[in-house]
Amino acid sequence: MRLDLDGDEGAGAGPPPDQAWVISTLFDDQQIGAEAQHMALFEFPARRVQPGRDGDDLKSEEGCNRPQSQRDEKQRDQAAPPAQGGNQQLVRAPARRMVRARHQHLFVILRLQRNHAIASQSCPRMAWRRCPDCMAVCGGGNARREVEHAHEKERPMSAQTLSVPQLADCYLQSDVVVIDSRFALADPGLGERQYAEGHIPGAVYLHLDRDLSGPKATHGGRHPLPDPQGLARTFAAAGIDSAPPSLVVVYDDSRFGFAARVWWLLRWLGHDRVCVLDGGFAAWRAAGHPVSDRSAAPRTGNFVPRVHAEKVVDKAYVESLPNGAVLIDSREERRYFGLEEPIDPVAGHIPGARNFPWQQASDTQAGWLAADAQRERLGDAATASEIIVYCGSGVTACVNLLALAELGRDDAKLYAGSWSDWCSYR
């Protein structure tokens, strides 16, 4: 199909160049064969949306989807002479976009020039700040990024997570950095071996112990925070830029357990344009997307740290929490109640802490829980005057911090040493 841009009565040949045209396409899954879901390019029809209209009523311009009165308007517009000034000619222009069956509703912005319309495509998460659902991620787009956020029909996208189809649309772009953070506490070398066997093409591997933690001491926990300057060099070596900010997408295979640590560390150093891949590497592979066994060799980025010291607290701070503050223990219930302790020398929890296991922030089938489900899970803890989160060593606590950020609680703090620091004084 070809793109046909229709004018409205009295609008002449089109809006001035600083106005936008919105095109909308509605697909049925049956229209896109399985063999075309990953690679096919489609052209589709569109019509202009008047300022203030939401475009929900847009259908194909072919046939009888439009009322008779609108078809009469179209005929009058086609017969009307071009208006003076502005665009002298509105031409039929193709608008190509790689689509999948899951992309049911795609908005594209066209900017009109004198003799042609240009449709540019980019990652939905790298668009201008037009979409409230991805406001935290979309801050670094530039003037040529003109594709609206592609909302998936199944459920609203999180501001802190990215779906596999969204990543597939943009992972090869130069300002997207993909981080593989797979790890296993019982086998610290497992994640690196998995990376060597296969990873998302272009992904850079970061090791929890070597790259994302500082040296251990008597106190401070099993995974102390790394030195900010050293961590900044690690992020720069991974190709992450601060200006303009790269879009960083982190994945693991542990239901966000390690990817959330990278997410939090980047935000601790002032880089907010980061999200976690919903479903991790398993979801990417299950969707049939490419996998590589070549180690990435990224260029060095211009990452500059802006440390947010207010995001971290220590043992002394936790001991003197004010009234109204909530202390969240993110470990499994059996560890919280002291029924078992497989890692640290002492079982139990910090007095006064409430238990919200990090695994409950996601579902093994549906993936990351939507904001309403996170709000229900956390209850009144999410509205406390102050929130401190800990786990065993400051790693999986970041999953609950991810959920709290989803609810607008970016002010929640991490007790970085967590239980392994607390019990080291006993």
Q: What is the pLDDT of residue 158?
A: 58
Same domain, 276 and 318: no
CA-angle at 19, arms to 16 and 20, nearest 5°:
130
Same domain, 387 and 284: no
Same domain, 205 and 300: yes
Express each pLDDT in 329-370 by its tens digit: 999 999 999 999 999 999 999 999 999 999 999 998 889 999
Q: Residue 46 domain-assigned?
A: no
Q: What is the pLDDT of residue 136?
A: 37
Q: Which two tokens stand for residue 89?
A: 């000619």
| Residues of the chain under the 50 pLDDT cut | 1-71, 73-157
Question: Residue 251: enclosing H or E segment and its boundaries?
Answer: strand 247-251
Domain encompassing residue 268: 161-307
Domain end point (choices 307, 338, 368):
307
Which DSSP string do the residues of 28-82 spell out, in sequence order? -GGGS-GGGTTT-EEE-------TT---TT---SSTTSS-HHHHHHHHHHHHSPP
Express each pLDDT in 14-70 by its tens digit: 434 333 333 333 333 333 333 333 333 333 333 333 333 333 332 333 333 444 444
Q: Residue 54 domain-assigned?
A: no
Domain end point (choices 274, 307, 340):
307
Cβ neighbours around 229 below 10 Å, total: 11
Instruction: Tell me the HSE value of 172 on the side-chain side, using a 13 A CA sphere.
Output: 8
Q: Residue 243 domain-assigned?
A: yes
Same domain, 327 and 297: no
Coil, helix or strand at residue 397: helix
Q: Which two tokens stand for residue 269?
A: 């150093």
Q: Which residues are bridge partners to 413 per DSSP?
A: 388
Q: Residue 260 domain-assigned?
A: yes
Same domain, 167 and 289: yes
Express each pLDDT in 196-206 by its tens digit: 999 999 999 99
Q: Residue 355 domain-assigned?
A: yes
Q: What is the pLDDT of residue 426?
A: 86
Same domain, 267 and 333: no
Q: What is the pLDDT of residue 378?
A: 98
Same domain, 272 and 326: no
CB 262 within 8 A of CB 205: no
Give helix 228-237 / helix 259-268 axis angle, nearest 10°: 110
**Tell me, what DSSP letter sits at residue 23?**
E
Q: Residue 193 domain-assigned?
A: yes
Q: How many domains does the chain have?
A: 2
Same domain, 245 and 328: no
Q: Residue 6 domain-assigned?
A: no
CB 264 within 8 A of CB 192: no
Beta strands 105-112; 117-119: pairing state: antiparallel
Domain end point (choices 307, 337, 362):
307
Question: Residue 119: enclosing H or E segment and its boundaries?
Answer: strand 117-119
Q: Which two tokens stand for residue 292?
A: 């590589």
* Alpha-carbon gap, residue 402 to 369, rounded angstroms: 11
Q: Which residues are bridge partners to 277 per DSSP?
A: 162
Q: Is 121 exposed, middle or buried (0-12, 13-18, 19+ CB in 10 A)?
A: middle
Which DSSP string do the residues of 184-221 spell out, in sequence order? -TT-TTHHHHHHHH-BSTT-EE--HHHHSS----SSS-
Q: Residue 124 domain-assigned?
A: no
Same domain, 303 and 165: yes
* Alpha-carbon gap, residue 411 to 43, rounded angstroms: 45
Residue 376, domain CATH: 3.40.250.10
Which DSSP string do the residues of 297-314 spell out, in sequence order? -PPP--------GGGEE-
Same domain, 367 and 296: no
Q: Which two tokens stand for residue 217?
A: 């001491």
Q: What is the pLDDT of residue 102?
A: 37
Same domain, 284 and 172: yes
Residues catalogued as catalytic: 391
Same domain, 197 and 333: no
Question: Residue 327: enclosing H or E segment and its boundaries?
Answer: strand 325-329
* Alpha-carbon gap, residue 71 to 191, rounded angstroms: 60
